[in-house]
């Protein structure tokens, strides 16, 4: 039996990456390490920000790339591979996936997050968790919650109204917890509505454990605990890394009655459970993983992540096309983000090498600009790149953001590409209009040149095999099928959160509310440069024969036919958006509620099925403190993006709206909407205001208590009328 004072040691890490062993319980230490797109195991000097080296591991595409695949099955395969590498490297818990909402393109850590939409984030994060944990290795979904910026991330108060918090920022986490059952959840640094996440009882206990049924370990982000006593009482289990003074604080609180022994024992038991599960998997683990096989999987994944934003027919390139390659990113890939998720890849493919292989000869290349601080280039690098571009049939301009532009720990100051790159592109266009821009970036950037170049290929960050994947897409070896999961604006001012990001010392107010990303663009009628869900192919697809039916659980089954009307085999991601015309609550114009993909040969067609769960039709009712499905007609639109909707249908949804008895606070309009009350209330109001339609319209917004005063009725008389009528609706 372990004494409760001895249990305290297990509620804090023994160092940066390990939970301590407990001799009395024969419990060994366990290694936890950064992910989420690769295993960052540091064997020497440890740090949290990715400065020191780690052991070689496969660097898969970060979440910004994975998300553009819209392919949960392939993402789960990546998760399986990550789990295998964790076992081979002796790691018991992989810290990821990151799944915070992309509220602004300026967030420095967007490369580690999936989407501006909770459905996409939740589905793909669930797939990754399922894959990793199938190997007996734990995951840690992060950062819980409302951690949508890096500016002052360890202190800033995220001020979010309850409905927005529930529907946008917590919904994806809830999906993962319920469906994939992650072993651990990592709390964020920031405050949530005034209380640090690590000390937020409502967040960690009431929502995470009691509502969602989470039974795993809540671990802190590294350094996110201010008081381990307050954190343990709120629902945190593990402080990483341990702070000696915090551990002493817990022991003193136990002696003084400031914390219950049961609270410490519960945290200890949950951590012990994770350690024993992981150790059972590590006991017979191999000492190596399939390096070649995982690199091949990384390449296949990267191929699915590339998004063809625009193309006038210049792509795919013919092998005999005389190309010139400009931009250091082609030779020195930007393939992952900076900070704690930096992986030491087992190998690294460059697009320049892959293009050379496909072209069958050495391709002219000029770096043109520096991609990293301190990089030295020839004084005439800019001019040399322009000269090289002049004689090419097609110029492949590799542009993007370096690690110094976006990273964990700070946000971007601008959504523009670096000025020197934009200047180089302008000079190239002046001598050769046949330019294809290939991007490397961890979040969306402004593309003022998009209508003046012949194609734009969004490469995001594609992991260690991304160079080959880009070349295959450019030359048509692979038909692109990726679609963006974050809106690309024309102007930063168009971003719905622009006026509220990143806040100041008083906090960051999520003033756009529900209108995040495409929801805000649609509501304001703002045309984006490229809408959420957009991505082109080298073939074309037609949609037809939409059918909508109600499922047994009250959801919506969507069925349609998709045909490949082009000349190449291709994959289409079909998206289903739902709106509720005439809703009684504030709604965004449409929301993604389901998606599915289909791969078709030229001329082939297939039925595509998308099931929208009833839970995904619900909105959070602050009045009822519950998820409510509004009854009525719902509109379902399916298409290739949030702005390319091909088919629309309507269906009646029964809903689950609770009976809401009228009170003295209820308005005349609310009373009139209830048939049993209509005659009573109509006569009551009419006695005061007559039958003038304008006066009746005015009176509709008056609470019954106020109306009583106008009519000379007492509140007791009005209440008696309500008491008489309300029971008929229970």
Which residues are designated catalytic?
221
Give the number of C-alpha atoms closer than 13 A to the C-alpha of residue 275, restricted to the C-beta side: 23
Task: Confirm if 136 and 93 have CB atoms less than 8 A apart.
Answer: no
Give the number of C-alpha atoms closer than 13 A to the C-alpha of residue 66, restricted to the C-beta side: 36
Beta-ladder partners of 57: 345
688: DSSP letter: H
Q: Report the distance separating Cα 161 and Cα 168, nearest Å.
A: 11
User: In the numeric block, which tokens belong to residue 413?
Assistant: 């100051």
What string of DSSP letters covers 115-130?
Answer: -SSHHHHHHHHHHHHH
Three-class SS of residue 341? coil
Q: Report the distance separating Cα 203 and Cα 199, nearest Å.
A: 9
Task: Confirm if 109 and 152 have CB atoms less than 8 A apart.
Answer: no
Q: Report the distance separating Cα 314 and Cα 292, nearest Å.
A: 33
What string of DSSP letters covers 346-381?
Answer: S----HHHHHHHHHTSPPPEE--S--STT----TTH
Q: Report the distance separating Cα 26 and Cα 10, nearest Å.
A: 13
The helix-helix angle for 291-305 and 72-89 (nearest 10°) equals 150
Residue 145's nearest CA partner among 95, 94, 207 is 207
In this structure, what is the dihedral angle of CA atoms 305, 101, 411, 56, given to the nearest 10 degrees?
Answer: -50
Task: Confirm if 37 and 341 have CB atoms less than 8 A apart.
Answer: yes
86: CB partners within 8 A, 6+ apart: 33, 39, 92, 94, 132, 135, 137
Three-class SS of residue 327? coil
Q: Report the distance separating Cα 215 and Cα 177, nearest Å.
A: 9
Q: Report the distance separating Cα 185 and Cα 173, nearest Å.
A: 9
Q: What angle do CA 191, 193, 194 make, to 5 degrees?
A: 60
Q: Report the distance separating Cα 468 and Cα 617, nearest Å.
A: 41
| CA-based max dimension of the chain | 94
Give the number of C-alpha atoms closer than 13 A to the C-alpha of residue 394, restricted to the C-beta side: 25
**What are the DSSP E strand ranges found in 128-228?**
138-144, 157-159, 184-187, 191-192, 195-196, 217-220
Residue 57's nearest CA partner among 115, 96, 100 is 96
Beta-ladder partners of 504: 507
Q: How many helices (H) and strands (E) would you count in the chain?
A: 22, 25
Stated as kind and residue range, the H or E segment containing 273 is: helix 261-282
Beta-ladder partners of 307: 458
Please state the separation of Cα 588 from the chain's center in Å.
Answer: 19
Q: Report the distance separating Cα 447 and Cα 452, nearest Å.
A: 10
Q: What angle do CA 714, 720, 724 make, to 5 degrees?
A: 155
Beta-ladder partners of 508: 158
Q: Report the distance separating Cα 395 and Cα 453, nearest Å.
A: 10
Residues in the chain: 730
- CA distances from residue 632 to 264, 591, 654 in whole angstroms, order as listed: 49, 17, 7
């Amino acid at each position: 039996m372990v004494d409760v004072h001895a249990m305290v040691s297990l509620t804090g890490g023994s160092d940066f990456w390990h939970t301590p062993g407990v001799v009395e319980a024969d419990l060994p230490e366990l290694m936890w390490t950064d992910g989420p797109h690769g295993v960052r195991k540091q064997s020497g000097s440890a740090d949290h920000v990715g400065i020191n080296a780690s052991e070689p591991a496969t660097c898969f595409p970060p979440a910004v790339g994975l998300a553009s695949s819209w392919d949960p099955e392939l993402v789960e395969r990546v998760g399986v591979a990550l789990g295998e590498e964790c076992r081979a490297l002796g790691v018991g818990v992989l810290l990821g996936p990151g799944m915070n909402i992309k509220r602004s393109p300026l967030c420095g850590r967007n490369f580690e997050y999936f989407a501006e939409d909770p459905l996409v984030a939740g589905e793909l994060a669930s797939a990754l968790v399922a894959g990793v944990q199938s190997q007996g290795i734990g995951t840690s979904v992060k950062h819980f919650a409302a951690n949508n910026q890096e500016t002052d991330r360890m202190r800033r108060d995220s001020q979010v109204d309850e409905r927005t918090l529930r529907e946008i920022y917590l919904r994806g986490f809830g999906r993962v917890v319920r469906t994939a059952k992650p072993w651990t959840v990592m709390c964020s640094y920031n405050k949530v509505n005034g209380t640090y996440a690590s000390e937020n009882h409502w967040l960690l206990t009431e929502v995470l454990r009691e509502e969602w049924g989470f039974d795993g370990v809540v671990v802190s982000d590294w350094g996110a605990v201010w008081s381990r006593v307050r954190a343990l009482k709120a629902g945190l289990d593990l402080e990483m890394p341990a702070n000696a003074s915090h551990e002493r604080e817990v022991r003193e609180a136990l002696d003084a009655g400031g914390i219950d022994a049961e609270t410490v024992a519960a945290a200890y038991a949950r951590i012990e459970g994770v350690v024993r599960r992981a150790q059972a998997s590590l006991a017979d683990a191999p000492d190596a993983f399939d390096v070649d096989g995982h690199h091949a999987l990384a390449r296949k994944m990267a191929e699915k992540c590339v998004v063809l934003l625009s193309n006038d027919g210049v792509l795919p390139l013919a092998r005999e096309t005389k190309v010139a390659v400009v931009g250091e990113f082609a030779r020195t890939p930007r393939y992952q983000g900076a900070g704690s998720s930096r992986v030491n890849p087992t190998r690294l493919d460059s697009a320049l090498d892959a293009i050379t292989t496909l072209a069958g000869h050495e391709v002219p290349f000029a770096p043109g600009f520096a991609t990293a601080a301190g990089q030295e280039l020839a004084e005439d690098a800019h001019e040399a790149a322009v000269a090289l571009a002049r004689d090419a049939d097609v110029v492949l301009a590799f542009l993007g953001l370096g690690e110094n532009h976006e990273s964990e720990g700070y946000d971007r100051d601008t959504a523009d590409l670096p000025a020197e790159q934009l200047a180089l592109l302008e000079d190239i266009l002046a001598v050769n209009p046949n330019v294809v821009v290939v991007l490397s970036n961890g979040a969306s950037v402004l593309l003022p040149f998009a209508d003046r170049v012949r194609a734009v290929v969004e490469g995001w960050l594609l992991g260690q095999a991304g160079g080959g994947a880009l070349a295959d897409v450019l030359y048509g070896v692979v038909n692109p099928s990726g679609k963006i999961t974050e809106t690309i604006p024309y102007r930063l001012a168009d971003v719905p959160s622009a006026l509220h990001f990143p806040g100041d010392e008083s906090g960051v107010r999520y003033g756009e509310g529900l209108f995040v990303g495409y929801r805000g663009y649609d509501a304001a009628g703002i045309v984006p440069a490229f809408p959420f869900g957009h991505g082109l192919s080298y073939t074309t697809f037609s949609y037809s024969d939409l059918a909508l039916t109600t499922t047994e659980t009250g959801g919506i089954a969507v069925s349609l036919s998709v045909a490949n009307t082009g000349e190449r085999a291709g994959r289409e991601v079909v998206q289903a958006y739902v709106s509720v015309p005439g809703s009684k609550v504030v709604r965004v114009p449409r929301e993604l509620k389901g998606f599915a993909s289909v791969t078709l040969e030229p001329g082939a067609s297939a039925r595509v099925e998308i099931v929208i769960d009833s839970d995904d039709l619900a909105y959070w009712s602050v009045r009822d403190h519950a998820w409510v499905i509004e009854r009525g007609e719902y509109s379902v639109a399916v298409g290739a993006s949030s702005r390319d909707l091909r088919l629309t249908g309507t269906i009646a949804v029964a809903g689950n709206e609770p009976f809401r008895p009228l009170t003295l606070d209820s308005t005349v309009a609310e009373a009139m909407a209830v048939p049993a009350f209509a005659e009573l209330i109509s006569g009551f109001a009419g006695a005061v205001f007559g039958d003038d339609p304008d006066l009746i319209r005015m009176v509709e917004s008056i609470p019954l208590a106020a109306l009583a005063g106008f009519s000379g009725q007492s509140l007791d008389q009005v209440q008696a009328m309500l008491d008489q009528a309300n029971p008929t609706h229970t």
